[in-house]
Structures are given as C-alpha cells and as structure tokens.
C-alpha cells in the first residue's frame, strides 16, 4: 500500500524518520545513555580487524562504516564488493577477525557466497540485514537487524539509512569495547543518534526545493557527484540512485580525484552535485567545487547554512540541511540525493519502483 504517495520509493523515503527511530531502539538505551547490541554477550573487545563486504547501496553503507571504524574505533578495515571479494585471495587472520556483511534482502548471491568464504577462513560473522528470516540472518554469529520494514521500491532508500543507523551503533559499541569511548562521549553519541530522526525530518523538508531543482537536471546527459570523507560514499550512492531510476549517466567521485581526469568532462551541460557539510573537510571540497565552476560547470551545493553562506554564491542551487554529528550526517545527507533521483525520474516518466533490467533481490551471480 502506497498510502498517499504516488510510488513506493517516495513512501519509503518519507518513512525514514520512523524506521530509523525504530531501528535505533534496538541499539541505544536512553535510560542509561548507552549504546548496546541485540546480542549483549558477543565479545567485541577481541576484534582486531574488520572485513566489510556487500553489494550496491549496501556496499556504500559499508564504505561509510569503514571511515567511522577508523575514526571512532581506530580499527583497521578492509572493504570490498562481494563479487570481487569472493574471487580475490583476501588475507584474513582468524585471530580477532570479524567479517561484516551488509544486505537488505539477506539473499544476495555474491554476498552470501562471500560470507561462507569468510567463515571458512575462520572469521566471526556479523550481518546487518533487513529481512530477519533470510539466509544471511541464519548464518550470522552476530545478527544485527535493521528494522526498516519491507522495502518494495527496487531502489534502496530506507534500508540504506537504517543500515547506517545500525553501523553507527556498532562502531560506537566497538569503540567502547576497545576503551576508545569515555562515558561522556558515549552519552554524547547516544544523544546525537537519538536526534537523527528529527534531523532526517528536517532534510525531508527540502523536498520542495529538490523538486524545483529536478527539471534543471532532467536534460543532462551526464551528472557528477562529488564528496570527501563519508560524503564520498554518499556521492557514489547519489550517482547510483540517479542512474538506476532515471537512466541518466552519473558518476560519483572523491572530490580530490576531479583533477585526475573527470574534470575534462565539465562544461555547462554537466551538472555537478557537491555534498559538503561545513567542517574540517569543507574548504578542500569547496576548492574542488570552484575548479568546476571556473570551467563553466553548474553546481548544486548540498550543505548546511554555514556552508551555504560561505560558498553558495554562484551555484545553480543550494540545499540546506541541519548541522549534525558525523555519525548521523550520512543518514541526513542521503535524503536529498534520494529525492533528487526520484523527482528527476518522475519527470522523465520512468518506472520508478521497477526500473528496467533490475531485480529487487539479486540471487544469481
Ligand atoms: C540500489 C540497490 C542495489 C542493492 C544491491 C544489494 O538501489 O538497491 O544496489 O543495494 O543489489 O542488495 P542487498 O542489500 O539486498 O544485498
């Protein structure tokens, strides 16, 4: 049932504040301001290295988690797409090795095969999965459910933000187990995580602005998305959403990689979506953005009010999001890129919920 919405995708985008809150209830305790896991006796302090494996949008959630594990838990992380991982010869030490698989369906063939491969290599298996009865859920040592509810739209939206919520809590749990989180810092993280649903709501309030911008993107043949840090996986996710439902060619790039090739593509006809919240990486990304503008590129800047005040001039459009903690920012910044892909696709008249050539669950290689 799509409710009042024209498509499941839009309904699922709008469900995000509720389902993220629902997911977080299993991972944070407001009574004592602690993060927790559904399986409390799993020994996180023994983990020495994390190997993250997934496909598509779930892979981008894993990429965000890699940055978080490094920053907040000082944990070394390997990351790969499942179809590559299973045919490489990845080196995994059994001692202290945690392999983390992320999947909405829990049935993706490559991810499931990678899970079995990691198990054979002596890894403990953690799974972030949205379907609790799935194969991956059954094969996990540490089952970490995302409570997004059934996702019908083929393009993943609410499953992604719920995966991010689980991963943020997992990183905080590992950081605590590793002695890298004071009770004060933990309390602070719990408070920020609890504010995620309302921040996502504020991001949804940009829907009209995104809708107004969409007609300017529709004529494009190519679109670039740029970001740094955890905004790099969001750039990749934005590009994936746009191509899969609107069939416009799009690429996500690490902002600093622009000058190593893709800048040659820039002219007035190539919109560039820049994802850059204010913060330590802001100036760097803005200078990449200015290189684009100097070549006639049309920029859409997604930032917060401070970022837009500092660098919004000369942009085709700006979208202002709330200023939030780095552990919740990707959940908030996901919203405008989802909405942009959605509105562009609607104008183009594509089958938004059932894009051509795609299946919701990829159970063959
Ligand atoms: C993109 C999308 C796909 C899936 C990928 C993995 O919108 O939906 O890229 O993310 O097929 O699927 P799961 O998460 O079920 O393993």
Work out the average pLDDT over 155-159: 97
Catalytic annotation, residues? 360
Instruction: Give the ligand 1 atom nearest the CA of 108.
Output: 16
What is the predicted pLDDT for the residue at 337?
98
Residue 151 tokens, joined: 């996702």
Chain centroid, CA 319 distance in Å = 18
Cβ–Cβ under 8 Å, residues 325 and 192: yes
Work out the average pLDDT over 96-125: 97
Rounded Cα distance between 265 and 296, Å, is: 11
pLDDT higher than threshold 90 for residue 360: no
Q: How confident is the model at residue 356 (pLDDT cuts 50, 70, 90)?
A: confident
**For ligand 1, atom 16, which residue shows the shortest CA distance?**
103
Q: 275 CA to middle of ligand 1, Å?
A: 22
Instruction: Give the ligand 1 atom nearest the CA of 157.
Output: 7
Q: 288 CA to middle of ligand 1, Å?
A: 30
pLDDT higher than threshold 90 for residue 28: yes
pLDDT higher than threshold 90 for residue 135: yes
Counting residues of the chain whose pLDDT is more than 90, the rounded percentage is 93
What is the predicted pLDDT for the residue at 30?
87
Q: What is the mean pLDDT of the chain?
A: 96
What is the predicted pLDDT for the residue at 14?
98
Phi/psi at 354 (5° precision): -135, 65
Name which of 15-29, 269-283, 347-361 the model is least confident about. Answer: 347-361
Q: What residue ranges line ligand 1, CB within 6 angstroms?
A: 55-58, 103-105, 108, 111, 155-156, 240, 244, 361-362
Query: For 208-239, how does the pLDDT look when each residue is reduced to its tens digit (9 = 90+)?
Result: 999 999 999 999 999 999 999 999 999 999 99
Complex confidence, ipTM: 0.99
**For ligand 1, atom 10, which residue shows the shortest CA distance?**
57
pLDDT higher than threshold 90 for residue 357: no
What is the predicted pLDDT for the residue at 94?
93
What is the predicted pLDDT for the residue at 72?
96
Phi/psi at 38 (5° precision): -60, -25
Instruction: Give the ligand 1 atom nearest the CA of 54.
Output: 16
pLDDT higher than threshold 90 for residue 171: yes
Instruction: Give the ligand 1 atom nearest the CA of 111.
Output: 16
Q: 154 CA to middle of ligand 1, Å?
A: 8
Most confident of 1-10, 32-41, 315-324: 315-324
**For ligand 1, atom 11, which residue shows the shortest CA distance?**
56
Name which of 75-79, 146-150, 262-266 the model is least confident about. Answer: 262-266
Task: Give the Å distances, CA to CA, from 199 to 22, 144, 206, 265, 278.
Answer: 15, 23, 12, 35, 16
**For ligand 1, atom 3, which residue shows the shortest CA distance?**
56
Q: CB neighbours of 309 closer than 8 A, spacing ≥ 6?
A: none
Q: How confident is the model at residue 40 (pLDDT cuts 50, 70, 90)?
A: confident
Model pTM?
A: 0.97
Q: How confident is the model at residue 359 (pLDDT cuts 50, 70, 90)?
A: confident
**For ligand 1, atom 5, which residue shows the shortest CA distance?**
56
Q: 34 CA to middle of ligand 1, Å?
A: 31
What is the predicted pLDDT for the residue at 362?
85
Work out the average pLDDT over 107-124: 97
Burial bucket for residue 209 (CB in 10 Å: 0-12, 13-18, 19+): middle
Instruction: Give the ligand 1 atom nearest the CA of 159.
Output: 14
Query: For 261-304, how does the pLDDT look when each residue is reduced to its tens digit (9 = 90+)?
Result: 999 999 999 999 999 999 999 999 999 999 999 999 999 999 99
Q: How confident is the model at residue 311 (pLDDT cuts 50, 70, 90)?
A: very high
Q: 268 CA to middle of ligand 1, Å?
A: 32
Q: 106 CA to middle of ligand 1, Å?
A: 10
Phi/psi at 154 (5° precision): -65, -40
Counting residues of the chain whose pLDDT is more than 70, the rounded percentage is 100
pLDDT higher than threshold 90 for residue 351: no
pLDDT higher than threshold 90 for residue 363: no
What is the predicted pLDDT for the residue at 346?
97
Q: 68 CA to middle of ligand 1, Å?
A: 21
| Ligand 1 pocket test target in 7, 104, 132, 134 with most atoms within 8 Å of CB | 104
| Ligand 1 pocket test target in 64, 65, 108, 146 with most atoms within 8 Å of CB | 108
Burial bucket for residue 314 (CB in 10 Å: 0-12, 13-18, 19+): exposed
Of 354, 326, 12, 285, nearest in space to 199 by CA:
326
């Amino acid at each position: 049932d799509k409710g009042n919405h024209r498509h499941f995708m839009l309904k699922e985008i709008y469900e995000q504040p509720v389902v993220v809150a629902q997911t977080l209830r299993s991972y944070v305790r407001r009574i004592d301001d602690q993060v927790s896991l559904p399986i409390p006796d799993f020994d996180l302090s023994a983990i020495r290295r994390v190997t993250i494996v997934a496909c598509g949008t779930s892979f981008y959630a894993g990429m965000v988690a890699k940055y978080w594990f490094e920053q907040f838990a000082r944990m070394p992380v390997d990351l790969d797409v499942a179809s590559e991982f299973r045919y490489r010869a990845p080196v995994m030490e059994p001692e202290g090795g945690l392999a983390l698989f992320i999947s909405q369906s829990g049935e993706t063939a490559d991810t499931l095969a990678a899970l079995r491969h990691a198990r054979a290599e002596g890894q403990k298996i953690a799974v972030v999965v949205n379907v609790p009865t799935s194969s991956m859920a059954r094969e996990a040592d540490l089952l970490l459910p995302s409570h997004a509810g059934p996702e019908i739209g083929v393009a993943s939206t609410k499953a992604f933000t719920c995966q991010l919520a689980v991963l943020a809590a997992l990183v905080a749990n590992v950081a605590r187990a590793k002695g890298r989180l004071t009770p004060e810092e933990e309390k602070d993280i719990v408070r920020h995580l609890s504010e995620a649903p309302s921040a996502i709501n504020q991001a949804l309030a940009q829907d009209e602005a995104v809708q107004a911008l969409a007609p300017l993107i529709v004529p494009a043949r190519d679109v670039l998305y740029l970001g740094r840090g955890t905004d790099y996986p969001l750039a990749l996710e934005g590009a994936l959403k746009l191509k899969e439902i609107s069939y416009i060619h799009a690429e996500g790039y690490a902002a600093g990689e622009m000058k190593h090739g893709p800048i040659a593509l820039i002219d007035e006809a190539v919109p560039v979506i820049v994802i850059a919240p204010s913060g330590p990486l802001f100036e760097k990304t803005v200078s990449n953005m200015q290189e684009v503008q100097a070549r006639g590129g049309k920029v859409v800047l997604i930032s917060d009010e401070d970022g837009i005040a500092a660098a919004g001039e000369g942009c085709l459009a700006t979208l202002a999001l709330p200023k939030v903690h780095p552990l919740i920012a990707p959940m908030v910044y996901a919203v405008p890129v989802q909405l942009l892909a959605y509105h562009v696709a609607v104008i183009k008249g594509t089958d938004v919920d059932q894009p051509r050539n795609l299946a919701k669950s990829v159970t063959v290689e």
